[in-house]
Amino acid sequence: MTAQPPDPDAQFAAAPERPQILAPPPQRSRGMAMLIEHPTLWIGLALLVLVTLMAILAPLIAPHDPAALNPAFRVKPPSAEAWFGTDMLGRDIFSRTVYGARVSLIVGAGVAVCASIFGLAIGVLSGFLRWADNIVMRVMDGLMSIPAILLAIALMTLMRGGSVFNVILAITIAEIPRVARLTRSVVLSVREQPYVEAGTACGTSTLGIIWRHIMPNTLAPLTVQATYICASAMITEAILSFIGAGMPSSVPSWGNIMAEGRALWQVKPSIVFFPAIFLSVTVLAVNLLGDGLRDAVDPRLAKQV
Amino acid sequence: MSAYILRRILSTIPVVLFVMIFVFSLLYLAPGDPAAILAGDQATQEDIEAIRNQLGLDRSFPVRFVEWAGGVLRGDFGTSIFTREPVTGMILQRVEPTVSLMVVTLAIALVIAIPMGVAAAWKRGSLLDRAIMLFAVLGFSVPVFVVGYVLAWTLALKLGWLPVQGYQPIAEGILPWLRSLILPAATLSGVYIALIARITRATMLEILQQDYIRTARAKGAAGHTVLYVHALRNALVPIVTVVGLGVALMISGAVVIETVFALPGLGRLTVESILRRDYPVIQAIILIFSFVYVIINLLIDLSYTLIDPRIRY
C-alpha cells in the first residue's frame, strides 16, 4: 500500500472570492473617458472635424469656382444664388470662404508641426549642451522681444511675395522660441531626476536618455502647446493677409477675403463678417481642444489656469 | 540690490544687439536697390553709383551696420525710400495716436480684468466663474479685427453712439479724443482682458488657500478687505508680469486695429509701408516697438522689489 502523494495544491489555501461589495467599475477605453470627462475636448474636436471636412470636400461643397469672376454680379448681398453674397469682382463669397478653410488649416497645422519639431530640437540641444545654452537662449530672447506679428511681417517682406510655404516659415520662426523654452525647462527639470541619474550611471547613452526619459515628459506639454500655436498661427495668417503681407491676393484665404471687403465694410459688411465668423469658430475649436487636452493630460495645470 | 539692477540692465544688451542685427539684416537683404529707387526713373548708372557712394551703400556689412547703429542711437533712422523724408520725422508724427490707443487700452483692460479675475477666483466653480472663463477663451479666439468690425458696426454705424473711424488729437480736447479712442481701445483690450483675468484668477486661487487669508477671515476682516487688501496685494507680481508680456499683444493688435479704425498711428504706418515696400520705415518701427517692449519688461522686472518688499536680490 503506497501512501497517496499529498495533493500539491492542498497546502495552499485558495484565495476567497472577492466579496461583491462594489460593482466593478465600468471598463471604458481611456480615450472615451477623456472625452466624457472633458467636454471642451470633444466640442473642440467636433468643430474641428467639421471644418476639416469642409476644407477637404471644398470642391463638392462650393457651388462656384472661388476664383470665377462675374462682373455683372458684383457686390451683391446674400441671396439664394450666392449664399454669402459676392465681392467687388463678383466672386462668390460662400465658395471663397469654404476654400479659405484649406489655407487656415494648412497654415495652422504646418506651423504647429514645424515649430514643435524645431523648437523641440533647439530646446533639447540647449538643455543638454551647457555651452550652447547661453547663446541659443539669448537668440530666443531676441526673437521673443520682437512682437510676433512684426517679426512675421519683417520675414514676409524679406521673402517678397507670399506663398503658403513662406507664410508657414515666417510664423514658424516667430513661434519657435516658445516651444524651445518649454522644452528646455522640461529637460532641465527631468535631467535632475534620480531615475535619469540612475540611467546615466548605468551607462545609458545621452541619446538613449533623451529618447526614453526626456521625450515622454515633453510630449504632453508640447502637444498642448502645439494646439495653442496652431490657433495663434491661424490668427497671424489672417492678420498678415488682412494687412497685405500674407497670402497672394489670388488665394482665397479668410484674411484675404476680409482684406478685399475692408473698403466696403460700412455698406456691405457681409464680405467681412462671413469669413470672420468661420475664422473665429475655427480658432475657438482649436483653443477648446487645447484647453481640453491640457486638463486631460495635466490636472495640475487645469487648476492653475 | 544695485548689483542686481546693473546685471539686469546689462542682460538686455545682447537682446537689443540681436534685434538690431536682425532688423539691419532685413534692410540689407531686402530685395530692390535703394540707391536706384532714390535716384528715380531718369537716373543714369553714374547717378545711381553716386547716390550709392554718398549713402555708403557700397561698403561692407559690418561697416554699414556700425554706421547705421550709430545713427539709430542718435535717433536717426535714415531716409524713407517712398516719401524721401527722414524716417524719424515720419515716425514722430505718428506716435501720438498709438501711445493714446495703448494707454486707453491698458486702462480699460486693468479696470475690467482684475475685478473679473478676483470675482472668478472668489466664486470658484460658480456660473460666474464659468462665464468669465468662457469670455477669456473667446477673447483669445476671436481675432481683434473681427471684434473691431462687430463693435464698429453695432455701436458706431447702427446705433451712432461713437465715431465710426478716425482720430481726434488730444490737443483738441480730452472728450473728443477719448470718444475717438473708446471703440478701438475696447477692441484691443479684449485679448488683454482675457490674459490678465486668467492670471489674476489663477494667482488668487493659490493665495486664497494660504494660512494668512484664513487668519484674516478669522479675525473678522470683511470679505472685500480680505480679497482686495490681503489677497490681491500679494497677487500683484504675477499680474504685473503678465501686463508687461501682454504689451507684445497690444503692439501686434495696434497694427491691425489702426487699420480697421483708420487711426493715423504707427500701426497704420506699418501697413502703409508694407504696401509701399518702404523698408527703412518698416525697420525703424520694428526696432522701436521691440525696444519699447524690452524696456517695459526691464522696468517691470526692476519694480518687483517695490511691489513686494519680500523680494530681495
Contacts of B26 in chain A (CB under 8 A): 154, 157-158
* Dihedral over Cα of B95, B98, B103, B104: its sign: positive
Which residues neighbour B95 within 8 Å (Cβ) at sequence distance 6 or greater? B265, B266
Nearest alpha carbon to residue B151 among B175, B174, B183: B183
Instruction: Answer whether residue B211 shows pLDDT above 70.
Output: yes
What Å distances lie between residue A104 and A109, A276, B149, CA to CA? 8, 12, 20
Which residues neighbour A2 within 8 Å (Cβ) at sequence distance 6 or greater? none
pLDDT of residue B304: 84
Instruction: Quickly list DSSP for chain B.
Output: -HHHHHHHHHHHHHHHHHHHHHHHHHHHH-SS-HHHHHH-TT--HHHHHHHHHHHTTTS-HHHHHHHHHHHHHTT---B-TTT-SBHHHHHHHHHHHHHHHHHHHHHHHHHHHHHHHHHHHHTTTSHHHHHHHHHHHHHHHS-HHHHHHHHIIIIIIIS--S-SS----GGG-HHHHHHHHHHHHHHHHHHHHHHHHHHHHHHHHHHTTSHHHHHHHHTT--HHHIIIIIIHHHHHHHHHHHHHHHHHHHHHHHHHHHHHTT--SHHHHHHHHHHHT-HHHHHHHHHHHHHHHHHHHHHHHHHHHHH-TT---
pLDDT band at B230 (very low <50, low <70, confident <90, very high): confident
CA-based nearest residue in chain B for residue A271: B149
Q: What's the CA dihedral at A12, A14, A15, A16 to 10 degrees?
A: -140
Long-range contacts (CB closer than 8 Å, 24 or more residues apart) made by B23-29: B23/A154, B23/B283, B23/B286, B23/B287, B23/B290, B24/B64, B24/B65, B24/B68, B24/B69, B24/B283, B26/A154, B26/A157, B26/A158, B26/B279, B26/B282, B26/B283, B26/B286, B27/B68, B27/B279, B27/B280, B27/B283, B28/B61, B28/B64, B29/A158
A242 lies within 8 A of chain B by CB:
yes
- pLDDT tens per residue, range A79-91: 766 667 777 766 7
Architecture of domain A39-59+84-297: Orthogonal Bundle (1.10)
- Domain with B58 in it: 17-76
What Å distances lie between residue B136 and A42, A45, A129, CA to CA? 19, 19, 39
Tell me if A252 sits within 8 A of A99, measured CB to CB. Answer: yes
Number of C-beta neighbours around residue B129 at 10 A:
17
Nearest alpha carbon to residue B256 among B150, B184, B193: B184
Contacts of B198 in chain A (CB under 8 A): 305
Q: What is the spatial distance between Cα A13 and Cα B252, in angstroms, rounded to a whole number?
A: 74
Answer whether residue B7 is part of any domain: no
Number of C-beta neighbours around residue A166 at 10 A:
19
Please check whether residues B179 and B209 belong to one and the same domain: yes
pLDDT band at B235 (very low <50, low <70, confident <90, very high): confident
Tell me if A152 sits within 8 A of B286, measured CB to CB. Answer: no
Tell me if B308 sits within 8 A of B237, measured CB to CB. Answer: yes
Contacts of A265 in chain B (CB under 8 A): 149, 153
What's the CATH code of the domain at B213? 1.10.3720.10
Contact flag B15-A142 (C-beta cutoff 8 Å) = yes
A235 lies within 8 A of chain B by CB:
yes
pLDDT of residue A117: 94
pLDDT, greater one: B38 or A215: A215
Contacts of B272 in chain A (CB under 8 A): none
What Å distances lie between residue B190 and A235, A286, B185, B262, CA to CA? 14, 19, 9, 19
pLDDT band at B51 (very low <50, low <70, confident <90, very high): confident
Is ipTM over 0.95? no
Length of chain A: 305
- pLDDT tens per residue, range B282-305: 889 999 999 999 999 888 888 888
Contact flag A145-B198 (C-beta cutoff 8 Å) = no
Please check whether residues B220 and B294 belong to one and the same domain: yes
In degrees, to the nearest 5, what angle opens at C-alpha A102 toward C-alphas A104 and A52? 95
Q: What's the CA dihedral at A189, A194, A200, A204 to 10 degrees?
A: -90
Please check whether residues B209 and B177 belong to one and the same domain: yes
The count of structural domains within chain B is 2
Contact flag A244-B22 (C-beta cutoff 8 Å) = no
pLDDT of residue A303: 46
Assigned C-alpha cell, B290: 521691440
Contact flag A283-B153 (C-beta cutoff 8 Å) = no
Contact flag A243-B15 (C-beta cutoff 8 Å) = no
Tell me if B258 sits within 8 A of B272, measured CB to CB. Answer: no
Contact flag A284-B29 (C-beta cutoff 8 Å) = no
Chain A nearest CA to B69, separation (Å): 17
Contact flag B140-A276 (C-beta cutoff 8 Å) = no
Contacts of B289 in chain A (CB under 8 A): 146-147, 150
The secondary structure element, H or E, covering residue A11 is: none
Q: What is the spatial distance between Cα A255 and Cα A282, in angstroms, rounded to a whole number?
A: 13
Q: What is the spatial distance between Cα A160 and Cα A166, in angstroms, rounded to a whole number?
A: 9
Count A/B contacts: CB-CB distance under 8 Å.
Answer: 135
Please check whether residues B146 and B275 belong to one and the same domain: yes
Q: Which pTM value belongs to this model?
A: 0.83
pLDDT of residue B189: 93
Answer whether residue B312 is part of any domain: no
Q: What is the spatial distance between Cα A53 and Cα A57, in angstroms, rounded to a whole number?
A: 6
Please check whether residues B70 and B97 belong to one and the same domain: no
A288 lies within 8 A of chain B by CB:
yes
CA-based nearest residue in chain B for residue A273: B146
Rounded average pLDDT over B198-225: 85
The residue assigned the cell 494667482 is B203
Please check whether residues B22 and B123 belong to one and the same domain: no
Assigned C-alpha cell, B189: 483690450
CA-based nearest residue in chain B for residue A269: B153
Please check whether residues B71 and B138 belong to one and the same domain: no
Chain A nearest CA to B28, separation (Å): 10
Q: End of a domain among B43, B76, B109?
A: B76
**Chain B interface disruption, residue of A134, A149, A262, most B CBs within 10 A:** A149
pLDDT of residue A85: 72
pLDDT of residue A18: 59
Q: What is the spatial distance between Cα A96 and Cα A88, in angstroms, rounded to a whole number?
A: 13
pLDDT of residue B84: 83
Answer whether residue B87 is part of any domain: no
Contact flag B18-A142 (C-beta cutoff 8 Å) = yes
Instruction: Answer whether residue B259 shows pLDDT above 60.
Output: yes
Answer whether residue B56 is part of any domain: yes
Contact flag A138-B15 (C-beta cutoff 8 Å) = yes
pLDDT of residue B275: 82
Q: What is the spatial distance between Cα B164 and Cα B158, in angstroms, rounded to a whole number?
A: 10
Contact flag B146-A154 (C-beta cutoff 8 Å) = no
Q: Among A147, A266, A279, select the one facing B146 at the smallest CB separation.
A: A279
Identify each DSSP E strand in A119-250 by its residue range: none
Contact flag B274-A243 (C-beta cutoff 8 Å) = yes
Contacts of A139 in chain B (CB under 8 A): 18
Please check whether residues B192 and B128 belong to one and the same domain: yes
Q: What is the spatial distance between Cα B283 and Cα B215, in angstroms, rounded to a whole number?
A: 55
Pick out chain A residues at pLDDT < 50: 1-2, 302-305
Chain B nearest CA to A177, separation (Å): 13
Q: What is the spatial distance between Cα A145 and Cα A139, in angstroms, rounded to a whole number?
A: 10
Instruction: Answer whether residue B113 shows pLDDT above 90.
Output: yes
Which residues neighbour B286 within 8 Å (Cβ) at sequence distance 6 or greater? A146, A150, A151, A153, A154, B23, B26
CA-based nearest residue in chain B for residue A286: B141
Tell me if A255 sits within 8 A of A242, measured CB to CB. Answer: yes
Please check whether residues B127 and B253 belong to one and the same domain: yes
Please check whether residues B149 and B293 belong to one and the same domain: yes
A161 lies within 8 A of chain B by CB:
no
Which residues neighbour B178 within 8 Å (Cβ) at sequence distance 6 or greater? B104
Q: What is the spatial distance between Cα B245 and Cα A148, in angstroms, rounded to a whole number?
A: 12
A233 lies within 8 A of chain B by CB:
no
Number of C-beta neighbours around residue B33 at 10 A:
14
Contact flag A157-B285 (C-beta cutoff 8 Å) = no
pLDDT of residue B221: 77
Contact flag B153-A269 (C-beta cutoff 8 Å) = yes
Mapped onto helix, strand or coil, the DSSP state of residue A246 is: coil
Contact flag B290-A147 (C-beta cutoff 8 Å) = yes
Nearest alpha carbon to residue A134 among B104, B15, B247, B173: B15
Contacts of A138 in chain B (CB under 8 A): 14-15, 18
B-facing residues of A in 78-97 (CB < 8 A) are none
Domains of chain A by residue range = 39-59+84-297
Q: What is the spatial distance between Cα B257 and Cα B101, in angstroms, rounded to a whole number?
A: 10
